[in-house]
Amino acid sequence: MTKYVFVTGGVVSSLGKGIAAASLAAILESRGLKVTIIKMDPYINVDPGTMSPFQHGEVFVTEDGAETDLDLGHYERFITPKMHKANNFTTGQIYRNVLRKERRGEYLGKTVQVIPHITNEIQDFIARGAHAAGDPDIALVEIGGTVGDIESLPFLEAVRQLSLRAGRNNTCFIHLTLVPYIASAGELKTKPTQHSVGELRKIGISPNVLLCRADRKIPDDERAKISLFANVPMDAVISVWDVDTIYKVPMMLHEQGLDEIVCRCLDLNPKPADLSAWEKVVDRLEHPKDTVKLAMIGKYDLKDSYKSLNEALIHAGIHTGHHVDVTFIEAEILEKEGTDCLKGMDAILVPGGFGKRGTEGKIKAIEYARKNDIPYLGICLGMQLAVIEFARHVCGLGGANSTELDPETPHPVVALITEWKDHTGVIEKRDEDSDLGGTMRLGKQVVPIKPGTLAAEVYGKEVGERHRHRYEVNNSYCDQFEKAGMVISARTPGENLPEIMELPDHSFFIGVQFHPEVNHSENGVAMIRNFLYEVCGAKGDWTMEDYCRTAIAQIREKIGGKLDTQELDAEMESLRKQLRQLTGTKDRLGEQIDALDYDDPHYTRKAQDLQERQDKLYDQIAAIEVSMAEVQTRMDNIRQRRISTDNVYQFLLYFDKLYGQFTDLEKKTFMNSFIERVEIFPERQSDGRIIKRIEFRFPVYIQGAERTALSWDKTDMSETIVLLQRGTL
């Protein structure tokens, strides 16, 4: 039976419910639990497909062709399972279903009401989403909007009913709320959180956990205050502060015990969490080898409208060891001011989009990339505009355009395709009068690739990526394009529609009709990663041997370096100085209070004023003490790591000499003393590895957690053991 975790938000929107839900799901998955995530959106739109990118942000496309909320992209980036249509639904879909049932007579003529019909339908959609995911151990359900909004009330009432029906230890409520810092007062304010929890309790829901968002770590005294007034145990009041990358959030939540609280609430006892993969990601983000300057030519808000693309660039940079410095350039600026702003850029990328606005600026950027041999990647509209630019300036087809942008163009090199086959093989049709919603080519489609092309180097024999578009490159012009030097390196197998175009006489110039950025598998980021390889000069010839050499060099550098805590020492001294000053001021205020004359008619007001000033100082002192404790912990960790690293290194040096003197029997006896079982790959791996899994007779401390086994897959690898296995250390 699937258990449910409901994630709600309060006070304001955009606090990060999606990131919080995805992070918790990632931790639970690392503990061996099967997890899925469902998003409920309160808007009446049947899907976000026709909503403004400025208001809604990115529309995320699933493999089965659903246009969904952008949070589903976070879900796929954080956990293993792919999202489907059933993982996202809106109020519009709920009402549409209920009305269809009513018109079919399924309610037997009864009055259709919000309760029970709408709330029952919501519960059915939740259960359907869990079932479509294979009835996982836990389904996290994120409820869009904020508590107190009238739009979200049916969803909240539905999950309240569901928690009642599911029974004890089968549901858990997590409430994400804001704890703002008021600069003028110099304080964090807990009242908004208290009121938000109060609103939630009014409708019959008592949260099990509070995730308190703030721009800084919330001190224990404020957490205690929230705990008291919100009726939530203090250990379940979790501080969620601003971080420089979302990939630090799982570790932040795990360190505060969120996953353990949820498991206790749901009466689950899974294995300990292993977040070593997340630690690696963060380490690579914080220690890049180089920086790449990338110009993204768009026309919507950069943060949310191109969310998947921005995250895909980060992921690709992790693979290449580069920080990707994205400069967002508004396409309309290029139309007015020209392309001077593109000078000094390592690469140019034009993402997808709809409508005529800004397209001429994007075409100017594409022409600049083509003429100056700057690596270029065009995605969806970016490919179509690359074809338009090539048609105009290379093929001499003046006025060439897309019929979407100019219905009267003399050369419709991009046009509306009226018939195509979807991912299931069903023939879809459309015309100029078709509704905008639900009339795109959507979802995953597998396409063969022409051998000997750049696309073949990236993807191999075929590519299976997701689509979201109405207009296609017009086949009538393709012969003309190919004679002029363009290569159509992939076409759909049925309709023969161009999927990938490239220019072979260019360092890297490629356009794809699909969206590689939304698929976060190894194959899904291949295009963007290889784009960065070309930009960065990292050609994709990475090997385990190279990695081992780098890792060894880093270990030796760390071991041979000096113990450097100068910056932390200086920070600690500064904190001590602040503490002395604050303590002195506090003591003087205390002396002033003691010196007040009881007979003074203004005694009470003066004493109260001095006491309030002293209370604020107590808060500041407490904050300083917390900071000092954190700095001390960091210093202790550095010293401890240095000691343990040195000890390990000396042990390895000594053991190497000792092990070399063992007989074969002694070596076997020694290994059997601490290794229970070793699994071997059926065939030697491409990197030379033969060991698939090692089980130890006792727990070993690996990358921050006690484990009894190590396996070598894409997400779980111990560099130290790999080095030892290959005999390179």
Q: What are the catalytic residues?
A: 380, 515, 517
All residues at 6 or more sequence positions from 163 whose CB lies less than 8 Å from its CB, including other chains: 4, 6, 170, 171, 173, 205
By the 8 A CB rule, do 10 and 146 touch? yes
Nearest to 178 by CA among 12, 16, 8, 7: 12
Sheet of 3-9, strand order = 88-90, 35-41, 138-143, 3-9, 171-178, 209-214, 237-241
Is 403:397 a contact under the CB 8 Å cutoff? no
Place of tokens 């075409």: 363
Which are the contacts of 442, defined by CB distance < 8 A and separation ≥ 6? 61, 65, 66, 67, 422, 466, 467, 468
Which tokens is 510 given?
A: 């490629």
Distance CA 218, CA 215 (A): 9
Spatial separation of the C-alpha atoms in residues 101 and 108, rounded to whole Å: 10
Pairing relationship of beta strands 427-429 and 419-421 according to DSSP bridges: antiparallel
In the chain, the largest separation of any two C-alpha atoms, in whole Å, equals 102
CA distance 373 to 613: 65
Listed residue (313, 331, 319) closest to 368, CA to CA: 331
From residue 252, how far is each of 12, 76, 140, 279 by CA, in Å? 22, 20, 19, 11
Pairing of strands 171-178, 138-143: unpaired
Q: DSSP strand E in 197-331: where? A: 209-214, 237-241, 290-298, 322-330
Q: What are phi and psi of 662, to 5 degrees?
A: -70, 145
**583 residue type, one letter:** T
Q: Distance between CA atoms of 129 and 124, rounded to whole angstroms? A: 9
One-character DSSP codes across 183-216: TTTTEE--HHHHHHHHHHHHTT---SEEEEEESS
Question: Residue 98 contacts by C-beta under 8 Å, 6 or more apart in sequence?
Answer: 112, 117, 118, 121
67 in Cβ contact with 311 (< 8 Å): no
